[in-house]
Amino acid sequence: MKSQHKNTFFSPQKSINCGGKLLTFEKPLVMGILNLTPDSFYDGGSHADMDGILHHTHRMIYEGADIIDIGAVSTKPGAADVSFEEEHDRLIPVLENIKKEFPEAIISVDTYRSRIARIAVDKGAHIINDISAGDFDKDMFRVISELKVPYIIMHMKGTPSTMQQNPVYNDVVEEVCSYFVEKVTALKKLAANDIIIDPGFGFGKTVEHNYELLNNLEYFSIFDLPILVGISRKSMINKVLHITPDEALNGTTVLNTIALMKGANLLRVHDVKEAVEAVKLVGTL
């Protein structure tokens, strides 16, 4: 069994420092998704005005979100690139308003640009969530090291515009693990210590690849780093059940529960209340 392998090269990490606030993973945490894009696969365009954005943020915090993850670039399969200026103009006013209205909230910014990361942290963001793990911007690792903020690295084969065009692996679990060995080693050499890993469900993987990763999720505990799982309403649910993302809440909860039982430390979700309930129920086992 792959999940039986153990490696002690990396030291255990049970918490991350978010701007002086210690966020612990003694129990799994929930990250609520705030999409600012008009074309995200599930809720694109749903949060187009500031009042609606702040209302949705308030709801997620009220329902128990530990982190709010703000994204201003769509990364769904086939998504077109967005310029720095457009990402900046979508993101920064929202970030400033959320910090003003919810000063205690832990904010993550979903970006692969080091310039955006630097500006976002200057404006009060606590975490950078990079779908490319530094592959799209070679300055990102250096900037993260300088900023001393928690950094989420995700595995993706290809780019959002190409990633679902016949992705092939000899062994998806081994290849994703090897990718993280390389990335984590490079980050630790730069003294970037608050690292979270994300296997990248749906990013350059077939449905079969996704379930192979989920079935072996505990294998990634070899890093002794927090593991983020982002399955919410994705095609690995919809294609199996022949439903739309709008109909995928139940399937999302089922797979989130499995992920929690296999060692997930952080769930990235559209539906906070249901994820928080899953964490509580699994915590009773």
Going by the DSSP 8-state scheme, the letter that residue 270 receives in this structure is S
Among residues 14, 268, 273, 280, the one annotated as catalytic is 268
Residue whose C-alpha is closest to residue 230's, from 21, 32, 19: 32
Q: Is residue 59 flagged as an active site residue?
A: no
268 assigned to active site: yes
Of the candidates 171, 259, 158, the residue with the CA atom closest to the CA atom of residue 203: 158
User: Which residue in 2, 234, 262, 273 is the catalytic one?
Assistant: 234
Q: From its phi and psi, is residue 40 left (phi > 0), alpha (psi between -120 and 50) or beta?
A: beta
Residue 126 near residue 21, CB atoms below 8 Å = yes
* Structural contact between residues 201 and 229, judged by C-beta atoms closer than 8 angstroms: yes
Q: Which amino acid is at 247?
A: E
The set of catalytic residues is 234, 268
